[in-house]
Structures are given as C-alpha cells and as structure tokens.
Amino acid sequence: MGIVERRERLRNQVRSDIVKTAKEIAREDGWTAVSIRKIAEVIEYSPPILYEYFESKDKLLEAIRVEGFDFLQAEFVKIKSHFRNPEKQLSEVARCIWVFSVENPEIFQVMFNLEGAYCDSKRVYSHAMNIRDNPVWEMIAVLRPKSGEMVTKTYYEWWCLTYGFISITMTTQPRYAFAQAEPIYMEGVRRFIKSIM
C-alpha cells in the first residue's frame, strides 16, 4: 500500500513549497508583499488549500520563525563542540548570527518582526531565549562562572546587543553597507566579552 505514503510525500512537498514560496516573495519584495493569495498562485493551488497546511498566516510565519531559531541553535551547538575557549565560542556565535542574517534576511526578519514582517507568536522568542539546553548560556557560564541568575542577566544582555546591532543595521543601512558594518559589530561584541570577563 504505497498510496498513503505517496499522499504523505505529496503533502510534505506542498507544505515545503508553501514555505519556500513565502520566503521567495519576501526576499524579492519584502514581507508586506507576502499574501496567502500570492503564495497560492505561485504553487498553483487555490487560496483555501493553504489552510490545510497552516491554520493561519500567522502560523505559517511562526513555522519559518521556528525554523530560523532551530537552525541557529544547531549552529551554536556545533560551535560549542568545535572550540574550547568560551571567548572564541562567543565571538563565533556572534559571527554566525551575523552571517545568517545577511544570507537569510527574510528569515531573520520573521524571527524578529523586522521590515514589515509580523508574527504574533512570542512563544518562540521565549523558547529561544530560554536557558534550558542553551549553548550560549553555557558559554557565558564558563566564561564568567557566577550564579545562574547572574549568567542569565549577562545572557540577556548578550541577546540584546547582538539583536540590536543586526536589526538596526538591517533596518537603517542599505545592503551594500553591511560589509563595512560587520567589523563594527564584531568589535562591539569583543568589547562586551572583555567587559564581562
């Protein structure tokens, strides 16, 4: 009975087509241009079909947001195992976020509601910020072995710094200026790391 498997495969295909199309439109014309109807047109289905895969537009954005956070989380885990020095680990994490935001601006925008992207789900934010199993939290804990509460505070600051930098740059600077903004960002990060050591 390959029928049910084939159907399942087709379902997954359509689902990923929806996500892919949303990102493509966003990348080309910004998230304000992304609509259910436009996605439907591209994947050659009628609009209501999308509701077979996502219960709302917001949930579709949430899926993309989760994808982004999960990807970064996985990268952080890799960095943690590839480098010993927590200072080095943190600066690599910072660089990783930067590169991600430059290469996948449309995902980053959904993750942080930038440039007209708007997704309600705060749940995901909180999850990403969560201490549990968070490699960056642990890096900071090694770098600055204090109470858990203190580490959480520092982690919060780290988060604000990197987020602030990238989102301000993404929002105010034109694309071509990103390259020259990166060293300023990395220098700021390094200064922060030094200031907490």
Binding site residues, a copy of itself, CB under 8 A: 32, 113-116, 118, 122, 125-126, 129, 153, 156-157, 159-165, 167-169, 171-172, 184, 187-188, 191-192, 194-196
Rg (alpha carbons) of the chain, rounded to whole number: 19
**Is 173:181 a contact under the CB 8 Å cutoff?**
yes
**For residues 27 and 60, what is the distance between their CA atoms, to the nearest angstrom?**
16
Smallest Cα–Cα separation from 52: which of 11, 22, 20, 19? 11
Task: Return the residue of 5, 46, 183, 194 that touches DNA, per CB under 7 A.
Answer: 46
Task: Return the residue of 12, 13, 16, 56 that touches DNA, per CB under 7 A.
Answer: 56
Which does residue 56 bind out of a copy of itself, DNA, none, counting CB within 5 to 8 angstroms by kind? DNA
**For residues 46 and 2, what is the distance between their CA atoms, to the nearest angstrom?**
27
Query: Which of residues 58 and 187 has its CB atom nearest to DNA in the complex?
Result: 58
CA 98 to each of CA 26, 94, 121, 126, 170: distance values in angstroms, whole numbers, following the listed order: 19, 6, 23, 21, 10
Residue 28 binds DNA, judged by CB under 7 A: no
Which does residue 36 bind out of a copy of itself, DNA, none, counting CB within 5 to 8 angstroms by kind? DNA
Can you give the binding site for DNA, defined by CB under 7 A?
A: 1, 3, 6-7, 11, 14, 34-38, 44-49, 51-52, 55-58
